[in-house]
């Protein structure tokens, strides 16, 4: 009896020693996670199920269950439309950013004098592509691709793609450059990714007589699939907090409305998050398989 | 008969020129042995990159040119890039409207202190997740990724209440304390970067240090942390830039007297034109357009200077940290 107790004590001591130092390192993050993430998330879920009113000295909660979530689609005639339009835009913006980053990074990966200068240029927008400066540029209409107006592309797009999509496409194209500003980090990820492909492979296929064109399709592209998926995910998450995101503006407006309030706003935020989450899950599913097969082959 | 001979002769001569050594050399110079090292390829590359870079930088040119235009030039559609009269009025307006020295001090204080704290804490957390033995390590890693995915809009109201209960509002601590607890701006991303970096370090290094009798704390602060210099630089710069530019969080947590540059840019119009108060966004106001662009330029100017000095280390640092593996 006594012995088993002693053994148990020894065991506990061993684990404490083993885990203690690791937990010590993790402790600040763990405390932070509880206070600044877990509690707010729980609170916000709680609020989304209530009608929240601000009274002197705090909040007043009235339980209304799922009504907030239902209202978002049934009563609110702005939110679903904005959500759909923004998702359409996003489906256009994500490939645009990733493909642009891929092409530019391919060019920047070549060895040529002065490439540091060009790398700097393409990374420059990261410095201010977040925040107020960008939305100021947006509102003043900078960042249009010049040829859109010159060649009057709008009727053409309307004619060939249909009116309901034309609007989305035009609104994306009209600030194409500023959207492409979001590709700084992605370009860096791609460039860093290419460094992981060993140069001996390129040499080997060149001796076997493959043209650079072949070696791009057969080696560079397959090897950078994981980075493409990483970039797609990063772009989606980055576009969450896009400064001119109409959904977020709508959520913000609803926070301060008398009849809707924080509860409804939190519900909207959760719906938005849910949609993004589904999108991320789909991307993971699509790319996950290709990444896995590649890992297995290694 | 004669003609055929003549054609053959000419064609042989042409072939001779074509296959001569000089021609070969020219061909190598122009087309290159590879696709990427010939003159032609380089010219195309430079051309493409320059065109794209020009398009890419156009909004910045717009910003600079607008900030130097006076009202007449702004309203005149024939003036596109180069203003007729260069005026510094906008810049001085912006300087006044932003209360630049004061706001610069606030922004720099927040950005530098939070970034430094974040580098240390994220490195510790990343190291713990990469190398130390912790129960439920997979769960913790998943939680880190989750914090990266949660949009700030969901938790902003509860956070506001928590911060106000803790008495942190309108002080720099409202950003410093979460940063200290590993929940600063995009901390999750930085933790993952450090985790990736420490994972790529060989185990033998640790074993050698352990055999020599170093404790884990000593191992981390003496060896691993200094080793992670390139990752630290990358994280510091990203964190600095993002703290510098953040708008959403300070718009909630910081008020009147203690505000960073980004908030003041938003309020610039009210400060310069008090008569238009409450009407903003409903009208395009060309009067303050120049001042706003000047202010935007003043805001991005310090990070650009920092970046110019550090960019070489920055890009190679990212390549070396192995963030992407």
How confident is the model at residue B319, as a pLDDT? 64
Mean per-residue pLDDT, B34-51: 75
Cβ atoms of A93 and A179 within 8 Å: the answer is yes
Alpha carbon distance A242, A134 (integer Å): 10
ipTM: 0.78
Q: For A73, phi and psi rounded to 5 degrees? A: -100, -30
Number of Cβ pairs closer than 8 Å across A and B?
Answer: 244
CATH class in words for B93-321? mainly alpha
How confident is the model at residue B92, as a pLDDT? 81
Lowest mean pLDDT among B44-53, B278-287, B297-306: B278-287
The residue extents of the domains of chain B are: 93-321
Interface test with B, best of A20, A36, A54, A264 (most B CBs within 10 A): A36
Numbered ranges of CATH 1.10.3720.10 in chain A: 76-297
Measure B242 CA to nearest chain A CA, in Å: 7
How confident is the model at residue B119, as a pLDDT? 92
Confidence of residue B246 (pLDDT cuts 50, 70, 90): confident
* Residues on chain A touching B159 (C-beta within 8 angstroms): 36, 40
Q: In the structure encoding, which two tokens stand for residue B237, read together? A: 């710069």
CATH number of A76-297: 1.10.3720.10
Q: In the structure encoding, which two tokens stand for residue B70, read together? A: 């006076």
Q: Where are the alpha helices (DSSP H) in A36-114?
A: 39-48, 67-74, 79-108
Nearest CA in chain A to B283: A139
The CA-based diameter of chain A, rounded to the nearest angstrom, is 90
* A140/B289 CB distance under 8 A: yes
Closest CA to B194 of B140, B117, B132, B123: B123
Beta pairing, strands A50-55 & A58-63: antiparallel
* B45/A112 CB distance under 8 A: yes
Mean per-residue pLDDT, B201-227: 85
Closest CA to A272 of B149, B162, B250: B149
Among A37-41, A262-266, B88-92, the range of highest mean pLDDT: A37-41
* Residues on chain B touching A226 (C-beta within 8 angstroms): 324
Lowest mean pLDDT among A54-58, A253-257, B107-111: A54-58
* A116/B311 CB distance under 8 A: yes
CB atoms < 10 A from the CB of A282, how many?
10
Alpha carbon distance B259, A132 (integer Å): 13
How confident is the model at residue B120, as a pLDDT? 92
Cα within 13 Å of Cα(B11), Cβ side: 6
* Residues on chain A touching B62 (C-beta within 8 angstroms): 137, 140, 142
Tokens 């797609």 identify what position?
A232
* B55/A177 CB distance under 8 A: yes
* B154/A44 CB distance under 8 A: yes
> Can you give the pTM of this predicted structure?
0.81
Alpha carbon distance B220, B213 (integer Å): 13
Confidence of residue A298 (pLDDT cuts 50, 70, 90): very low
Q: Is A119 on the interface with B (CB under 8 A)?
A: yes
* A18/B34 CB distance under 8 A: no
Cβ atoms of A206 and A215 within 8 Å: the answer is yes
Confidence of residue B78 (pLDDT cuts 50, 70, 90): low
Strands (E), chain A: 50-55, 58-63
Confidence of residue A295 (pLDDT cuts 50, 70, 90): low
pLDDT tens track for A214-238: 888 888 888 888 888 888 888 888 7
Alpha carbon distance B232, B116 (integer Å): 9
* B158/A40 CB distance under 8 A: yes
List, as ranges, residues 215-234 from A with C-beta within 8 Å of B. Answer: 226-227, 230
How confident is the model at residue B304, as a pLDDT? 83
* B148/A26 CB distance under 8 A: no
Interface test with B, best of A22, A132, A136 (most B CBs within 10 A): A132
How confident is the model at residue B282, as a pLDDT? 44
Lowest mean pLDDT among A107-111, B186-190, B240-244: A107-111
* Residues on chain B touching A124 (C-beta within 8 angstroms): 57, 60, 304, 307
Cα within 13 Å of Cα(A241), Cβ side: 22
Cβ atoms of A47 and A266 within 8 Å: the answer is yes
Q: Which of B48, B59, B322 sits opposite A177 (nearest CB)?
A: B59
Alpha carbon distance A215, A139 (integer Å): 44
């Amino acid at each position: 009896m006594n012995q088993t107790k002693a053994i148990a004590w020894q065991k506990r001591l061993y684990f404490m020693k083993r885990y203690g130092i690791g937990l010590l390192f993790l402790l600040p993050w763990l405390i932070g996670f509880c206070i600044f993430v877990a509690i707010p998330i729980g609170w916000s879920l709680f609020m989304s199920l209530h009608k929240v009113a601000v009274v002197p000295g705090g909040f007043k909660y009235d339980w209304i269950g799922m009504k907030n979530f239902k209202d978002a689609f049934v009563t609110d005639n702005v939110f679903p439309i904005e959500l759909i339009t923004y998702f359409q835009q996003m489906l256009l913006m994500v490939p645009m950013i990733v493909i642009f980053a891929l092409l530019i990074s391919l060019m920047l990966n070549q060895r040529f004098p002065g490439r540091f200068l060009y790398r700097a240029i393409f990374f420059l927008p990261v410095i201010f592509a977040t925040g107020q400066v960008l939305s100021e540029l947006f509102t003043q209409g900078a960042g249009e691709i010049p040829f859109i107006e010159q060649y009057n592309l709008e009727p053409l797009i309307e004619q060939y793609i249909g009116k309901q999509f034309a609007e989305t496409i035009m609104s994306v194209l009209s600030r194409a450059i500023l959207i492409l500003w979001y590709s700084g980090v992605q370009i860096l990820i791609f460039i860093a990714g290419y460094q992981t492909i060993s140069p001996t492979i390129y040499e080997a296929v060149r001796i076997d007589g493959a043209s650079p064109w072949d070696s791009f399709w057969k080696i560079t592209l397959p090897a950078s699939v994981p980075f493409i998926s990483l970039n797609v995910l990063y772009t989606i998450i980055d576009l969450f907090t896009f400064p001119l995101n109409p959904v977020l503006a709508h959520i913000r407006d609803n926070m301060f409305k008398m009849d809707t309030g924080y509860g409804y706003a939190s519900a909207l935020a959760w719906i938005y998050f849910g949609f993004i989450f589904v999108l991320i899950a789909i991307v993971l599913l699509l790319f996950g398989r290709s990444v896995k097969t590649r890992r297995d082959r290694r | 008969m004669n003609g055929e001979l003549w054609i053959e002769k000419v064609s042989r001569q042409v072939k001779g020129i074509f296959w001569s050594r000089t021609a070969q050399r020219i061909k190598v110079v122009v087309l290159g042995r590879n696709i990427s090292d010939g003159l032609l390829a380089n010219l195309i590359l430079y051309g493409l990159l320059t065109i794209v870079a020009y398009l890419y930088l156009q909004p910045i040119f717009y910003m600079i040119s607008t900030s130097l235009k006076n009202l007449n030039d702004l309203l005149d559609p024939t003036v596109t890039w180069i203003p007729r009269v260069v005026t510094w009025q906008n810049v001085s307006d912006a300087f006044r409207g932003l209360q630049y020295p004061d706001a610069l001090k606030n922004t720099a204080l927040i950005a530098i202190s939070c970034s430094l704290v974040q580098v240390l804490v994220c490195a510790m957390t990343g190291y713990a997740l990469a190398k130390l033995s912790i129960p439920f390590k997979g769960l913790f890693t998943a939680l880190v990724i989750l914090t990266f995915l949660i949009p700030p809009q969901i938790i902003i109201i509860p956070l506001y209440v928590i911060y106000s209960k803790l008495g942190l509002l309108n002080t720099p601590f409202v950003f410093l304390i979460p940063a200290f607890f590993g929940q600063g701006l995009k901390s999750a991303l930085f933790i993952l970067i450090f985790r990736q970096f420490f994972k790529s370090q060989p185990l033998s290094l640790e074993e050698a240090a352990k055999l020599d009798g170093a404790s884990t704390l000593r191992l981390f602060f003496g060896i691993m942390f200094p080793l992670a210099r390139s990752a630290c630089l990358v994280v510091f710069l990203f964190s600095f830039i993002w703290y510098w530019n953040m708008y959403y969080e300070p718009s909630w947590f910081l008020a009147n007297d203690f505000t960073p540059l980004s908030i003041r840019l938003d309020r610039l119009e009210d400060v310069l034109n008090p008569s238009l108060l409450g009407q903003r966004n409903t009208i395009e106001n060309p009067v303050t357009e120049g001042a706003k662009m000047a202010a935007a330029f003043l805001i991005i100017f310090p990070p650009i200077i920092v970046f110019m000095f550090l960019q070489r280390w920055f890009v190679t640092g990212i390549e070396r940290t192995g963030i992407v593996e």
